[in-house]
C-alpha cells in the first residue's frame, strides 16, 4: 500500500461544490482501494482573502511544494471585483503556478461516446476522441520583452510583443510531451510556424534533437500550427499528444476542448520540472472552468471536470494509470445511463444535481471494481 499526499484547494463559487464530490470519491477509495490518500486542505482565492486579506498564504504554497499533487477548484467572483490587484483571487493561482514553476499545461480532449452528439462535429469524427495538448505555459510572446506601445508621431502608435524561446524551454516541454506519449499511444505532433517565425525554426530543431537523443522510440511528426488547427476540426483522431508553444497552445487547446462539449467536462493539469533525485514533477490539477458564480450554491455544477482532474493526477503524477482508467470508465458509464447535470442536459436524459452525479460515479466505480 502506498500513501499519497494530496493538497485540496477548493477556492470559490462552485469550486467547493465540485471539490466536495472529488473529496467523497477519495474517501471512498481510502475505504475500498489499495492505496491511502492523505488529504490536506487550504484556502485560496476570494475565500482566502476574506479570511486573511491575501489570496494565498505562504504555508499553503509550502504545502503545495511538498504534496504529491495539488487539486485546485476555481477562484474568483463579483464579490472580489474591487479588491487590490495584488490580492485579487487569481493572484493565488498565479503565485502557485510561478512558485511551483509549472511550465507545462496539459489539456486533454476526451469525447465520451454518450456526448458525441453534443459536439459541433459529426459523431464519427469525435466519438472515442482522446487527445492531449501540451502547451508551454511560462514563456513565449505572452511574457517576452520588449512588450510596449510607443507613440511614433503623426498620430501613429507602434505595438510590440516579443516571441522568445530559449533552447532549455523547448527541451523541457518536449521531454514532458514525449514522456506522456509513452503512457498513451506513443505519438507526438509538434506544432509551430517555422515557415515564418525564427522561434518556430528553433522549436522544430530542438524538438527533433530531443527526440533523436532521448525518445527515438516515440513517433514524432511536425505540423504547422495553422494546419494543426485545421486538422483538429477535420480529423482530430489522427492526434495523440500535440506539443506547442504558449500562444498556439492557447488557441489549439480551446479548439480541441470545444470538440467535446461543455466546460463542466474539461479537466487540466500543469506540471513543473522533474526532481533530479526522484524524477517526480510538481503538479497542479484543475478543471478548465472558473467559479461559475451564476450557478454557485444551487447544486447545478457539473463535477466531472474536477473528478476528471483527479483522474489525471492519478495517471500523470501518482502512476495509478489503471485507477485513472477505472474512474474515466465510471464517468462514461454514468453518462451512458443517461444521467446529466444541467449544463449537458439533452432530451430524454435524466437531470441530476452535483451530488447525485458524484454519487452515481462512486456507485459505478464500486460496481465495475
Active site residues: 142, 193, 226, 250, 254
Least Å distance, CB 293 to ligand NAD, is: 6
- Give 151's Cβ-side CA count (13 Å radius): 3
267 is an interface residue for ligand NAD by CB under 6 A: no
The whole-angstrom separation of Cα 4 and Cα 320 is 11
Binding mask 224-243 for ligand NAD (x = CB under 6 A): --------------------
Nearer of residues 164 and 342 to ligand NAD, judged by Cβ? 342
Integer Cα distance of 116 and 128 in angstroms: 8
Kindly state the smallest distance separating residue 75's Cβ from ligand NAD, in Å.
4
Instruction: Kindly list the strands in the beta sheet with 3-11, ordered across the sheet, starting from the edge strand earlier in the chain.
Output: 36-41, 3-11, 69-74, 281-287, 267-274, 104-110, 130-136, 241-244, 187-192, 219-224
Question: Does residue number 269 form part of the binding site for ligand NAD (CB under 6 A)?
Answer: no
Q: Which stretch binds ligand NAD (CB under 6 A): 2-10, 107-115, 181-189, 282-290?
A: 282-290
Stretch that binds ligand NAD, among 47-55, 220-228, 284-292, 332-340 (CB under 6 A): 284-292
Query: Taking CB under 6 A as the rule, which mask of x and - marks residues 61-100 in contact with ligand NAD?
Result: -------------xxxx---------------x-------
The single residue among 16, 236, 264, 358 that binds ligand NAD, judged by CB under 6 A, is 264
254 φ, ψ to 5°? Answer: -70, -35
Task: Report the residue from 55, 302, 309, 333 that binds ligand NAD according to the rule CB under 6 A.
Answer: 302
Q: What is the rounded end-to-end Cα distance, in angstroms, of the chain? A: 17
Instruction: Report whether 105 contacts 249 (CB < 8 A).
Output: yes
Strands (E), 276-349: 281-287, 339-340
What's the CA gap between 226 and 323, in Å, rounded? Answer: 36
Residues that bind ligand NAD (CB under 6 A): 14, 18, 74-77, 93, 263-264, 286, 289-295, 301-302, 305, 343
Amino acid at each position: 500500500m502506498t500513501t499519497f499526499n494530496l493538497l485540496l484547494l477548493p477556492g470559490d463559487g462552485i469550486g467547493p461544490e465540485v471539490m466536495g464530490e472529488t473529496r467523497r470519491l477519495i474517501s471512498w477509495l481510502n475505504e475500498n482501494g489499495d492505496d491511502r490518500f492523505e488529504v490536506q486542505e487550504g484556502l485560496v482565492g476570494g475565500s482566502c482573502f476574506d479570511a486573511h486579506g491575501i489570496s494565498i498564504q505562504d504555508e499553503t504554497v509550502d504545502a503545495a511544494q511538498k504534496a504529491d499533487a495539488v487539486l485546485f477548484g476555481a477562484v474568483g467572483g463579483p464579490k472580489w471585483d474591487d479588491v487590490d490587484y495584488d490580492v485579487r483571487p487569481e493572484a493565488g493561482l498565479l503565485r502557485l503556478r510561478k512558485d511551483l514553476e509549472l511550465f507545462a499545461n496539459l489539456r486533454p480532449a476526451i469525447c465520451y461516446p454518450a456526448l458525441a452528439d453534443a459536439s459541433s462535429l459529426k459523431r464519427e469524427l469525435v466519438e472515442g476522441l482522446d487527445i492531449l495538448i501540451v502547451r508551454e505555459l511560462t514563456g513565449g510572446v505572452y511574457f517576452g520583452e520588449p512588450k510596449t506601445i510607443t507613440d511614433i508621431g503623426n498620430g501613429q502608435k507602434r505595438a510590440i510583443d516579443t516571441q522568445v524561446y530559449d533552447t532549455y524551454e523547448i527541451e523541457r516541454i518536449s521531454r514532458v510531451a514525449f514522456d506522456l506519449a509513452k503512457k498513451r499511444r506513443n505519438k507526438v505532433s509538434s506544432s509551430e510556424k517555422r515557415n515564418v517565425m525564427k522561434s518556430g525554426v528553433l522549436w522544430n530543431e530542438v524538438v527533433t534533437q530531443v527526440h533523436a537523443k532521448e525518445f527515438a522510440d516515440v513517433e514524432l511528426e511536425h505540423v504547422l500550427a495553422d494546419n494543426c488547427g485545421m486538422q483538429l476540426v477535420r480529423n482530430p483522431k489522427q492526434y495523440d499528444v500535440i506539443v506547442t508553444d504558449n500562444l498556439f497552445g492557447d488557441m489549439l487547446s480551446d479548439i480541441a476542448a470545444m470538440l467535446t462539449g461543455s466546460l463542466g467536462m474539461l479537466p487540466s493539469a500543469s506540471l513543473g520540472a522533474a526532481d533530479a533525485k526522484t524524477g517526480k514533477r510538481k503538479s497542479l490539477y484543475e478543471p478548465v472552468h472558473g467559479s461559475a458564480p451564476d450557478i454557485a450554491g444551487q447544486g447545478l455544477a457539473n463535477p466531472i471536470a474536477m473528478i476528471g482532474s483527479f483522474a489525471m493526477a492519478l495517471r500523470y503524477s501518482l502512476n495509478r494509470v489503471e485507477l485513472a482508467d477505472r474512474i474515466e470508465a465510471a464517468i462514461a458509464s454514468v453518462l451512458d445511463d443517461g444521467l446529466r447535470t444541467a449544463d449537458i442536459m439533452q432530451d430524454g436524459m435524466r437531470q441530476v444535481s452535483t451530488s447525485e452525479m458524484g454519487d452515481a460515479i462512486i456507485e459505478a466505480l464500486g460496481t465495475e471494481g
